[in-house]
């Protein structure tokens, strides 16, 4: 349920990338299907065994910079992760009404910042495919700051680098833990993007103002 957002009071629009602006189906398919498939071929294992092994490996790096570091995963798994991403780049899609929302925010002279845990190389691949990079005043990866968005240190670094004002900022993300940290840091307006993947059920939250689709903000 979306409570109305006072856009006249908001100067800074802070946006997550994967799941929020872009369809998470690409990432779900990539890490859940393609990587296990290639790993199984390379190590002469069944797909099921590869998937089980990889999912426990992924889990051990959750909420760390390694989690989104595709160079780390290339070394760790002995697979060329950027090249594999390029192989299925046709699956990278922008969620419905995102571009309209970004254009509207630009027309209203808002500062638009992308805040992502994704690696620079991943951002580049996704920007090349979607062309959404031109809508942002700046892009900040967690690698620029040295902490993922789940940590308060990320927000300290982000505020220092981007010079936004917490009281006049709206932040939209599809991960509840990230929104909780942003709230703890003092970001005033927060929205949970419930529909992260076009192929999965919307997620639920009782704590945050929620949208399924960017049309709801227009």
The span from the CA of 45 to the CA of 40, in Å, is 5
User: Which own/partner pairs from 68-71 qualify as long-range (CB within 8 Å, at least 24 positions apart)?
Assistant: 68/117, 68/118, 68/119, 68/122, 68/142, 68/148, 69/119, 69/143, 70/119, 70/121, 70/122, 71/119, 71/121
pLDDT tens string 166-195 = 999 999 999 999 999 999 999 999 999 999
Residue ranges of the domains in the chain? 7-24+93-217, 26-90
Question: Angle 47-60/35-43 helices, nearest 10 degrees?
Answer: 120
pLDDT digit string, tens, across residues 26-43: 999 999 999 999 999 999
Which tokens sit at 67? Answer: 């989690």
Predicted TM-score of the model (pTM): 0.95
99-132 residue pLDDT tens: 999 999 999 999 999 999 999 999 999 999 999 9
Given pLDDT bands bounded at 50, 70 and 90, which one contains residue 4?
confident
> Tell me: domain 7-24+93-217, CATH 2.160.20.10, correct?
no
* Closest among 28, 32, 16, 172 to 91, alpha carbons compared: 28
Res. 15 pLDDT band, cuts 50 70 90: very high
Best CA proximity match to 123, nearest among 43, 17, 7, 8 = 17
The sign of the CA dihedral 127, 169, 187, 171 is negative
Which 8-state DSSP code applies to residue 62? Answer: T
């Amino acid at each position: 349920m979306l409570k109305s957002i006072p856009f006249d009071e908001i100067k800074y629009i802070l946006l997550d990338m994967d799941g929020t602006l872009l369809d998470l189906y690409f990432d779900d398919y990539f890490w859940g299907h393609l990587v296990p498939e290639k790993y199984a071929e390379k190590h002469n294992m069944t797909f099921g065994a590869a998937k089980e092994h990889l999912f426990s490996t992924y889990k051990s790096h959750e909420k760390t910079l390694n989690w989104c570091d595709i160079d780390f995963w290339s070394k760790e798994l002995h697979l060329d992760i950027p090249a594999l991403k390029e192989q299925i780049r046709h699956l990278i899609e922008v969620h419905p009404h995102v571009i309209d929302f970004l254009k509207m925010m630009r027309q209203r002279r808002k500062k638009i910042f992308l805040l992502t845990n994704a690696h620079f190389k991943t951002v580049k691949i996704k920007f090349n495919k979607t062309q959404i990079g031109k809508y942002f005043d700046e892009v900040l990866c967690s690698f620029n700051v040295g902490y993922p968005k789940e940590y308060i240190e990320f927000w300290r670094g982000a505020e220092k680098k981007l010079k936004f004002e917490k009281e006049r900022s709206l932040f939209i993300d599809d991960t509840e833990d990230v929104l909780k940290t942003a709230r703890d840091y003092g970001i005033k307006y927060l929205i949970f993007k419930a529909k992260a993947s076009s192929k999965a059920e919307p997620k639920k939250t009782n704590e945050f103002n929620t949208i399924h689709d960017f049309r709801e903000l227009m």
